[in-house]
Each structure stands twice: as C-alpha cells, then as structure tokens.
Amino acid sequence: MRKKIIIFIIIAAAIAAGGFFVANQKSYFKINNESLGSSPDTLAQNYEKVAASLPQTQNKDFTLLWYSDFDGNRIAALSPDNKIIWEQNMNTDPIPRQSYNVHTEYVTLAPNGNLIVADGDGMMVQEIDRISHQLLWQYGLRSIQGATQGLIHQPDKSYKLNSHEVLINDGNNRRVIIVDQDTNEIVWQYGHTLEMSAEPGYLRGNTSARPINEGRQIIITDTLENKFLVVDREKKQVLWEYKKPDAKWLQHVFPTAEGTFVLEDRQKNEVFEVDINGNILWTFSKLADGSNLKYPTDTIKLPNGNLLIAESGRYRIIEVAPKTGQIVKNWDASGFVTTIAIDYEPAPEGNQIYKGKPIVFVGPRENIPEGAPKDYGFWSFAVPVSGILSRSGQPTLFDFQWLKEHGWKSVVNLRVDGERDEIGDDTKIEGFNELGFNYLSLPMPDGSPPTNAQAEIFLTFVTDPDNQPSHVHCRGGIGRAGIMVALYRYSVQAWPWQTAIDESRPFEGGVSDPQRNWLERWAQNHDPGSWAK
C-alpha cells in the first residue's frame, strides 16, 4: 500500500542461469536445486504435496470474510450474506491508547483463531483476541521507525506460525523476520537489514511474506525486482523463483490447493495465476459488464475456482469467475479494503452483540430464527457466548421445550416469585420440572443488581461444564439478564466492565444505573477474567 519505497526504473531484466524464458508470457522460472526438488518435474511433484495440505483445500464454503479497512482504521468480518458481524476500530477501546493504529492495513488469521493485525504507518504488528477484542501482543512502537531490537519500519501482512512465532515482512528495513512472542526477539531473518541488493540473500523492495508448509518455507514478494520467491527457513536458500518483468506492483501471493499461485498487480489493475513451471494460466482485468478491475489489493482463490478480490478502487470485495469476469457476489465493505482473509471455522464465540448485526444471537425483537418461539419474553432471546450462555425474558413452557430440544442443560431464573402478580418461579409452570433442567433460582427485584453472594453462585454455576449451555432469564430480558451477562463478560472473558455494560444497550436501553454501579464496584475488587477456567 502506501509504501515509502523508491521505485527504480528497471532498464533490463537479467535471466539467471538455470532458468528458462517463457517468451509469450514475458516471465521466467528459476530453480535452485534444493529440498523441494532438483528439476521442474520433481519440484512440481513435491510442491503439490505441500499445496494439498493448505487450509484452502477444504472443499466447503467459508463462514467469515475478514478484511482490513485502511480509511476506517478497523478490522471487520462479514458473513456470507453480507452482514458485518464483528468489528473493532483500532483506535478505540479496548485497544490501549499507546497502541492505537495509525492506519489499519493488514489482517490475517492465527492458528488459534485470533487476528494478526499490521499497521504499516504505525510501525506495529499486533495480536487481537477475537472474542474479547483485547490486545494480546505487540511488536514495534507506535509511529517509531527503527531497525534495532523491538522496532520495525513499514510492516506488512504478518502471520502467526504456531503458538509463539510471528512472521513479519519488515519492508523498509529490507528484511523478513520471525519474532518469538515469548521474548519479543528476532529468531530468524532473511535479507540484510537496511541493505538493498538483487544479490542472493538480499532484498530490494519486499512487500509481502507468507508461510507455507507449516512455516518450513516462506513466500517473499520483492516488488522492485518484479518477482516472488520461495525461501527455505532452515537453510535460507531460494528454492523457487518467478519473475514477471512487465509487472508494475506485485505484492500478495495466494498459494492455491492446486499447486499454483494467484497474485494481484494493483497498478496494472489485474489478477493472474501462475503454475509451478512458470506458465501464466490466465490474466483477469475486465469484468463481464465491460468495466476494468479497479485497484485490486488482495486475492484469494476459492475451492470452487472463483476468486475473492479486494477491489479497493470500488470499496468492495467481489467473488468473480476469472474466465468470464462475471461477478457472483458483491460485499459492500464500506471502506478502503487493503487485505482479506477467510475463515472456515464457526463464527467466533462470545462475539459482541451489535443491534441488527447478528451472528450468535437472535434479538432483540428481530432476527428470530426459523422455528424458534416468538412469544412472551422470548423476543429478547440472545446467545452472547455460543455453547455456554444465553439470555432472554420469561420463557413459556413451549420456549423451555425448544431450549431442551436444542441442547440446553440448565436454567438460571432471576425473577421474584409473584412479581407483578405473575408466577415467577419456573418450577411452578406445569410441565417444566419434567424437562429435567439443572435449575438455579437467584431472585432479585426488577432493576436491582445481584448481591455479591449471588454473583459468585451464578459464576460457579454457569462455568460448570455440566450446566453448559445455560439459559439465564428475568421477566423482560433487559436489566437483570443483562447485568448477569455483563458479569460473565468481565469475570470470565476479561472484557472491560464498561464494554460489557455497553453491550446491553440494544436491549431496550440495557441495565439500570444501580446495576451498572454495582458492576463497577465489583470490578474494583475482582480482577477481569478471575473466574476463567
């Protein structure tokens, strides 16, 4: 993206010994005899095995489409039906002020499901917890350029390799590094710090690095050299190289399950696929309606052969058939999309509730799933913590039956029996006891907070796997249910208590002032996440 790289005029493209020139494609393919193969044939065979193990070999639809919004300074996730279901502005809580992003530019998914975010202008790479939105780790200091320990200069898309290592393309330091999160020390480097050269072992304009084969090899794009290469981590030797002399700005490489590579050339407004033998299989630049592709910044090839393209010039993400140019689906990203990532896993558990933007919840008063009850207090049904905790107003017997049929194990009732001259004790509802729920009654007057003793009993009950998932309810599903969910968010998931309170607001305004004040006092005497198991 907005790199502070001086682009040199390439006067001539040297063809390295051992490579061969594909004249009609203006590109060449080079092999250095190493572990992935000693000839084009053996290299192709070995690389096919690597490609077959990539995550994108899963022949199923993705569940989430993540993207970075450069202008909006945020990370967001879209559902396949074009709803924003997760978002975090990277210059707002719970991100610490000293770690606010300048321009959020890159996002990838870590093996643990968290998000690896890179801020090129802010000189930081961060790990964000996808459930709590908390900053878990950071390398680099905000807006401080440097090449000494702990500093970077214009980082790009970064990847978490395993439980503790992160691959970073440290662009303007002319190096690719791996940082150990436990020590924040560099444990591997390719390229010579602050030295530009086309010689082996050096980089001139590296703008992207991506791991393959469980991090044993790394794909590096050298934009000023119009090439990308595969480097062996252990030996630091180039195993494979592809150069396209007529390129203008190559950056992100997507390794496909078929053993090919898909790239975007954003300045030429095109996307192309190249195979392991250096042949360009197709080039895509024009849509079926006759318009040209406009500033593509990232590309993913789907199992069905279609492409996901971050078409930043039109502020959107599109799924397109590359051979016809037909747009299959269009996501309005509402921002300048710089990178995209797809997730085949279920939606993130504990996703924050946004009114009208559902993912693991139903209400309030809308988005009731087909077949779910819609009567009485169940209109406010929500599942803030998937598989663990749900909330609503007073269920009817039919509602309780629906919960039982869908796997709920326990019920927490916050009502006072006889309030508003109604039955407030679920065990007095005819047919309830026969359902066999584990049952906890914690009566508290409407608008009131729990006592500290009730809070401890509640947390003990809902964190017990034998009671999960648990359903907590009051009469309307607004204040009492809201404060108990906020208590869980703070005490188990380590959310800031203010954020936990804010989440309740879509439910008819949320918790009462006494309930809010109680949680603030609770937070003064209990550490966040202190009830996590």
Residue 522 structure tokens:
């609770």
Across 446-473, average pLDDT: 95
Band (pLDDT 50/70/90 cuts) for residue 459 is very high
pLDDT of residue 510: 84
**How far is residue 242's CA from residue 229's CA, in Å, rounded to a whole number?**
6
Type of residue numbered 158:
S
Length of the chain: 533
Q: What percent of the chain has pLDDT over 90?
A: 58
**pLDDT tens digit sequence for 237-254:** 888 899 999 999 999 999
Residue 508 sits at the vertex; the CA angle it makes with 505 and 509, to the nearest 5 degrees, is 40
Fold observed for domain 382-524: Protein-Tyrosine Phosphatase; Chain A (3.90.190)
Question: Angle, to 10 degrees, between the axis of helix 513-525 and the axis of helix 479-491?
Answer: 20
**Is residue 301 within 8 Å of 51, Cβ to Cβ?**
no
Residue 114 structure tokens:
């968290």
What sign does the CA torsion over 336, 339, 344, 348 have?
negative
Across 72-76, average pLDDT: 91
**pLDDT tens digit sequence for 52-69:** 666 665 556 788 899 999
**How far is residue 65's CA from residue 374's CA, in Å, rounded to a whole number?**
30
What sign does the CA torsion over 269, 275, 278, 280 have?
negative
* Residues 6 or more apart in contact with residue 137 via CB below 8 angstroms: 126, 127, 166, 181
pLDDT of residue 444: 96
292 conformational bin, left if phi > 0, alpha if psi -120 to 50, beta if neither: beta
Q: What is the CATH number of domain 40-343?
A: 2.120.10.30
Burial 497-524 (b: 16+ CB within 10 A, else e): bbbbbbbbebbeebbbeebbebbeebbe
Start-end of CATH 3.90.190.10 domains in the chain: 382-524
Type of residue numbered 289:
D
**pLDDT tens digit sequence for 284-294:** 999 999 999 99
Band (pLDDT 50/70/90 cuts) for residue 457 is very high
Band (pLDDT 50/70/90 cuts) for residue 47 is confident
* Residues 6 or more apart in contact with residue 237 via CB below 8 angstroms: 32, 34, 231
**pLDDT tens digit sequence for 195-239:** 999 998 999 999 999 999 889 899 999 999 999 999 999 989 888
**How far is residue 496's CA from residue 498's CA, in Å, rounded to a whole number?**
5
Type of residue numbered 20:
F
Start-end of CATH 2.120.10.30 domains in the chain: 40-343
CB atoms within 10 A of CB 110: 19
